[in-house]
Structure 1
Amino acid sequence: MLWKLSLTGIKSRFKDYLVLFSGLTFASAIFYMFMSIATNTSSLKGSIQVAFSITRVVFGFGIALLAIITLVYIVYANSFLLSMRQKDYGMYMMLGARTSKIGSLIFLETLVVGFLATILGSVIGIGLTQLVSQLLISQLGLHLHKFVGFYLPALLWTLLFFAVLFFLAALWNRHKLIKSNVINLLRENQKPVKLRHNTAWKFIEAILGIGLLAVGYWAMADYKELMTNSIVIGFFTIVIGSYFVFDSFFTGVVNLLRKNNKFKYKKLHSFTLGQLKFRLTDYTRILSIVSLLFALALGAITVGLNFNNLTDQTLEATYYDVVLYKKNATVKKDLRNVSVRSTTSLNYRIVEDKKNKENPETLYVSENEINQGKLKYRHFYVDKNGQQNYSTRTFSSKKMQDENSSAGAEMRYQLASLTPYSGARVKIVSQDKYDQLKAKNQKVELLLVNNFRSNFDNIEKLQKAAVNQMIGNPETTGDSVNVYLTNSKTGSYRLISSMASGFEFMGFFLGLAFLAMLASTLMFKVLSGANSDKPRYNMLWKMGTRKSLLKSSIAKEIGVLFALPAVLGVIDVLFGLQFFKSLLKNPYDKIWIPFTIFGVLYVIYYILTVVLYQGIVLRKENN
């Protein structure tokens, strides 16, 4: 009988359960996707290990953050579930149902809803993983063997994680129902909210809140001096400052508006402001959490998208696109598929001193070779704004011969890196002395190519062939030759692009997951108190208030609750991006993309919350 009554109650609140169920499903789907990509190594092959390992670390970090927000989300979703059902369970107890039976019923109901949502979410997650992994693999240029979205360990971890969460939630629901008497269950939503009227403390708290936020924003902007301390300072000051601002400053603004009689007595402003005053007092913690998570979500997408700019910085760091050490048949064949813009050669000789075991090779280059002005390199510097930049410089034999010159030391290092002997000492000598050296003349060809990005695969293939040919050259020894693909421009570009792509995808999907969960959390919090608001709206209806005014009041009230954490979160992001200037050339680049995505999705959640709330608090004959 109890199960029949329970199913009837669920059917009567099907729309509310659908919102709850869809939110839980989305959470488990995103969690499975992150877990699968971060832990699936069965298809990994040697040539892609570095790129994929970076991606796994990035997504592993995403899993940790996602687990935290999921935990918070489940708490408020469970609160919404309990608020929907506690009055029904109170009525069952009035009709004679035993407390133990009611406790078992809510325990099983919580587990069943959670289990079904997790199963459906995992199925959706498998399909989503297949789609996302293919996009990610194509971005990284990986070649995985039979990679599929289904990965059993990831599925088991997802089921275990959510099973533990829902089991704990079910225990809490059962405990709360058993310990509550019938009157409390029936009248729980009619308990008054305790307001604190200490005006002096509220004023101090408001000043402290704004001051702490200002300190946090200053710490983010002054990253050059504070270094990693800016994160520590910013975290504590912004978290505490956000709480104080919601607990006092915004409440103070509402109180000021209530004192403005012209505004207060217009339409239902007096009622709406009264509602907001109670809401802000009751919602201080949740609004603070939502604003911080909003900033994290928006920041994750913004920074993730801008990490792709690291590849541009990588291209700027190295002047020459390809270095050819010698030309065998394979190199000549691959060279035909690359459009070469210009070719520069570097002649050098290597003299080995076997007595010097630490650094036996000396690389000799003639003054004439350098003075032709054809050899160039990229000089790294930090500008006055703290941003990293590169400029093109020409090698100078005069500076390179000066052992005490920092510019000369940089040029010698850059020159050696163009040869297979990057660890050798560099000596610039006259042409006569160069010709007298008893060593074989060697040469490298330095290429500038067209369309590096669009023709990257062929360029990388050419550089790989050149490296393999040099390593396999019997005239060189493994002790002296230091040639690695990762030292080349193509190798650096591949490594950085893999990391950037991983952060880009992680930031995008983690940001969307955060947004969906934080918006759902706020929505559940608002809807969980909807039943207690019914009498107030019914009273206004009986007094003759028009339906349009009631709906307008609801839209404004919920709009403020959604807008305040969003506005503070946006401000947090705008100041927080200052910290990433040390890593990204322009962290504000294309900022309109994540802001537009967030704005659209956030408004959708707001509209959905307003519609559901109106459906609960307004009598059907009033709609």
Structure 2
Amino acid sequence: MTLFSLARKNIARNLSQYFLYIASMVFSIIIYFTFVTLKYSDAVAEQTASSQKLGSLMSGAAVILIFFVAIFIAYSNSFFMKKRKKEVALYALLGVRNRQIGFMLFFENLLLGLVSLVVGILLGFLCSKGFMTILIYLMGYDVIAPFTFSGSAALNTSIVFLIIFLVTSFQGYRLIYQFKLIDLFHASKKGEAAPKPSMIVAFLGIFLIVIGYWLAMQDLFTSKVWEKIGFLMTALIILTTVIAGTFLLFHSVTGFVLAVIKKNEKWLWKGLHLMTVSQLLYRIRGNARTLTVIAVLSATTVTAGGAVYGLYYNANDQVMTVDPNTFMYQQTDVKSDHQVTAILPDTKYDENVEALSITFNTKELSEESAFDNSDKRIYTVIDERTYNKLADVQGKEALHVNHGKAVILDIGYDKRFSPEYKDKTIRTENNTAITFQSFKTQTVLNAKTAGIAVVVSNDQFKSLQKEGEALHYRAIGVDQASVDLSEKISKQIPEEALFSSAPQDFQASIESVGSLLFIGSFLGLVFLAATGSIIYFKVLTEAEEDKSQYNMLHKMGVNAKEMRKSIASQVFVIFFVPLAVGLLHSAVALKAFSGLLMMNLAKPVLIWMIAYTIIYGLYYILTVASYNRIITQNNKTEG
């Protein structure tokens, strides 16, 4: 029997244990192959206006995926090697040379990798049409992508993953040379040393997390701390303190919590609670490093995905804020207007807007603004009647402006940088004073066409006509508008008309954020699959070690239901404690992110967290079922 055939038989015999490992690798290969295929795809390039930018995004995502998958495969492989140490020792005891054993382990891992690679590329090809269609849909295009097989993508994927598999296979080859024979036999009995909880360490862990949270919640632009330390250094401090604090949290804080629970003797002596708590005390403290990795991975995945989904979710609202009218342009000649009217479908409204372009002295505003220190600004001025007419058709509240007063419509208002408009005065070049009675963060004129608008009373508008340049705008509202219609209209009017289109701006926004959402979602799924797999391997390795304990309980008469309950409780804590910590980290990060963008991300982030938790929960169910199967089969075998 050759070493290669022996390796093949070992894989076939242990296929059930390798299944999730193979599945995770296959999924990673599918996603990588998809990213590279999309990078080379002519179909995507033809449909999207930003194909070059998309290619760069796909390349960047592929690099992140390579780095992560390499770490995941190496980490997973170390679990399997630990499980195989006793088997390796038996080969050595039977006289098989170390070199031959090393080559057998090398061939096993390489064969697993090659099978995963072939299956991953084939499934990637079959799924490519669906993935391309999803990407194109998220980018706002209604097109069905064709089946495409990219030879360049297949070659790229093969080279990258063959290198990864060769490196991890060599890791298996070196196993026999790293340990003495007696160490290999007792490897399964050696667990990670469970450190004793320390009050000082526990407080230090909580303190570090609080410091990280506090820094994250400081405003990036106005915080003195961020200004003094610097952006990169502050970000590094946040990452370091949160990760270190999380490790210490699992190292000692959870130990104290479980120790307190253990003091409740009335509850402790019911069922298998004593055994459950005792094993958790060992498992959580002993596996602090693994649990920290899970928590950080979960936080990273949820934060990145939640942020991108939040931007995608709010894209339409953002465009509607900037472009309250479907189309708007400055009227320059009658001929252009007639040509636009000829191609317009039925409209909700079609209004001619009279406005003034006036240069104001804004010294009072400039003194308070951290954003613009210019003493002269040009505003578009409209009267109260015009505002209310547009507000009515747009579903906004009416406005009343007192004589000599004004309301400024500043959609970019940010209290950190913008001036306090109320009761501040601006003056025309003829020294006509206008005082702001209030401000609004919404407008009735498209910002690209009209800029920042100022609403004055009807009488005030008439008196200002001598001081400003008369402007005539056309504001159009259409129920079923499209980018094609926008392009047709833009061809009918000159460039100086400053044409603005809600469909075009929405398409540009959704195209950019949609591609990020696609990449973030699939990278998140890979991270989630790897995260779930790491816990799965870890827990099932411990299940092998716990077989004798549960068999002893079985012989003592403990029923299967109690054992299943104990197993479910232990695995639940191992799974969901790091998840809860990860979600808390991501909630703080996303709160800071929403404050930075002045955007409400609560609903999309909650949806993203629920989706992540549901998929993560499936791994928990699978792990508990596998753990129970191992214990049940062992009890039947041992009696």
Task: Please give the TM-score of this superposition, normalised by the length of structure 1.
Answer: 0.79
- Are positions 1:216 and 2:215 aligned together? no
SS of 2:185's equivalent in the other structure is helix
- Which AA in structure 2 matches 1:170? S
Structure having greater relative contact order (Cα 8 Å, sep ≥ 6):
1
- Counterpart contact for 2:354–2:471, Cα < 8 Å: yes
- Counterpart contact for 2:350–2:475, Cα < 8 Å: yes
SS of 1:273's equivalent in the other structure is helix
- Are positions 1:525 and 2:535 aligned together? no
Residue of structure 2 equivalent to 1:285: 289
- Are positions 1:463 and 2:472 aligned together? no
Residue of structure 1 equivalent to 2:25: 24
Alignment match of 1:577 (pick from 585, 590, 593): 590
- Counterpart contact for 1:215–1:237, Cα < 8 Å: yes
Residues in 2 aligned to 1:167 and 1:523: alpha-carbon distance in whole angstroms: 24
For 1:270-309, what aligned pairs fall within 5 Å after superposition? 270-308=274-312, 309=314
Cα 1:246/1:8, change in 2 over 3 Å: same
Write out per-residue CA displacement over residues 43-89 of structure 1, whole angstroms, 9 at most, x where no aligned residue: 46689433x44544544443344334323321232123323433223
- Counterpart contact for 2:326–2:481, Cα < 8 Å: no
Residues in 2 aligned to 1:405 and 1:302: alpha-carbon distance in whole angstroms: 44
SS of 1:266's equivalent in the other structure is coil
- Counterpart contact for 2:323–2:446, Cα < 8 Å: no
Residue of structure 1 equivalent to 2:252: 248
- Counterpart contact for 1:307–1:501, Cα < 8 Å: no
Write out per-residue CA displacement over residues 107-144 of structure 1, whole angstroms, 9 at most, x where no aligned residue: 01101101111221222223333212212223424598
For 1:305-324, what aligned pairs fall within 5 Å after superposition? 305-308=309-312, 309-324=314-329
Pairwise CA distance, 1:609: 1.0
Pairwise CA distance, 1:169: 0.7
- Are positions 1:159 and 2:164 aligned together? no
Sequence identity of aligned pairs in percent?
23
- Which AA in structure 2 matches 1:456? A
Residues in 2 aligned to 1:575 and 1:152: alpha-carbon distance in whole angstroms: 44
Residue of structure 2 equivalent to 1:425: none
Pairwise CA distance, 1:30: 1.9
- Counterpart contact for 1:317–1:378, Cα < 8 Å: no
Q: Which moved more, 1:124-133 or 1:515-524?
A: 124-133
- Which AA in structure 1 matches 2:490? V
Residues in 2 aligned to 1:400 and 1:504: alpha-carbon distance in whole angstroms: 49
- Which AA in structure 2 matches 1:40? Y
- Which AA in structure 2 matches 1:588? A
Pairwise CA distance, 1:569: 1.1
Residues in 1 aligned to 2:409 and 2:56: alpha-carbon distance in whole angstroms: 31
Task: Please give the TM-score of this superposition, normalised by the length of structure 2.
Answer: 0.78
- Which AA in structure 2 matches 1:344? N
- Are positions 1:601 and 2:615 aligned together? yes
- Which AA in structure 2 matches 1:603? G
Write out per-residue CA displacement over residues 595-617 of structure 1, whole angstroms, 9 at most, x where no aligned residue: 33222222211111122223334
SS of 1:544's equivalent in the other structure is coil
For 1:179-578, what aligned pairs fall within 5 Å after superposition? 179-197=178-196, 202-224=198-220, 225-226=222-223, 228=231, 231-308=235-312, 309-324=314-329, 325=331, 326=333, 327-328=335-336, 331-335=340-344, 337-346=345-354, 370-371=382-383, 373-374=385-386, 378-382=409-413, 418=449, 444-451=472-479, 455-457=480-482, 460-471=483-494, 482=496, 488-578=501-591
- Counterpart contact for 2:305–2:521, Cα < 8 Å: yes
SS of 2:116's equivalent in the other structure is helix
Say what the alpha-carbon RMSD is for the aligned residues: 4.0
Cα 1:141/1:609, change in 2 over 3 Å: closer
Pairwise CA distance, 1:150: 2.8
- Counterpart contact for 1:106–1:174, Cα < 8 Å: yes
Cα 1:488/1:266, change in 2 over 3 Å: same
Residues in 1 aligned to 2:127 and 2:498: alpha-carbon distance in whole angstroms: 37
Residue of structure 2 equivalent to 1:111: 110
Residues in 2 aligned to 1:349 and 1:252: alpha-carbon distance in whole angstroms: 69
Residues in 1 aligned to 2:308 and 2:121: alpha-carbon distance in whole angstroms: 25
Residues in 1 aligned to 2:105 and 2:618: alpha-carbon distance in whole angstroms: 31
Cα 1:45/1:195, change in 2 over 3 Å: closer
Pairwise CA distance, 1:7: 4.0
Cα 1:3/1:416, change in 2 over 3 Å: closer
- Counterpart contact for 1:323–1:444, Cα < 8 Å: no
Residue of structure 2 equivalent to 1:476: none
Pairwise CA distance, 1:584: 5.5
SS of 2:600's equivalent in the other structure is coil
Pairwise CA distance, 1:205: 1.4
Residues in 1 aligned to 2:308 and 2:357: alpha-carbon distance in whole angstroms: 46
- Which AA in structure 2 matches 1:341? Y
SS of 1:380's equivalent in the other structure is coil
- Counterpart contact for 2:355–2:472, Cα < 8 Å: yes
Write out per-residue CA displacement over residues 395-449 of structure 1, whole angstroms, 9 at most, x where no aligned residue: x9976866998989x99xx8996389xxxxxxx99899799x9xxxx97542231
SS of 2:321's equivalent in the other structure is helix
- Which AA in structure 2 matches 1:469? Q
SS of 1:446's equivalent in the other structure is strand
SS of 2:49's equivalent in the other structure is helix
Residue of structure 2 equivalent to 1:176: 175
- Counterpart contact for 2:135–2:515, Cα < 8 Å: yes
- Which AA in structure 1 matches 2:316? T
Residue of structure 2 equivalent to 1:11: 12
Residue of structure 2 equivalent to 1:49: 49
Write out per-residue CA displacement over residues 315-351 of structure 1, whole angstroms, 9 at most, x where no aligned residue: 212343313445457533421x25241312448899x
Write out per-residue CA displacement over residues 131-177 of structure 1, whole angstroms, 9 at most, x where no aligned residue: 12212223424598976443333333322222222111111111012
Residues in 1 aligned to 2:414 and 2:52: alpha-carbon distance in whole angstroms: 33
Residues in 2 aligned to 1:584 and 1:498: alpha-carbon distance in whole angstroms: 22
Pairwise CA distance, 1:303: 2.2
Residues in 1 aligned to 2:160 and 2:4: alpha-carbon distance in whole angstroms: 27
- Which AA in structure 2 matches 1:461? D
**Runs of 5+ in structure 2 lacking a partner?**
359-377, 391-407, 452-460
Residues in 2 aligned to 1:193 and 1:431: alpha-carbon distance in whole angstroms: 80
Write out per-residue CA displacement over residues 452-473 of structure 1, whole angstroms, 9 at most, x where no aligned residue: xxx231xx334323433334xx
Residues in 1 aligned to 2:85 and 2:191: alpha-carbon distance in whole angstroms: 18
Cα 1:534/1:400, change in 2 over 3 Å: farther
- Which AA in structure 1 matches 2:42? S
SS of 2:512's equivalent in the other structure is helix
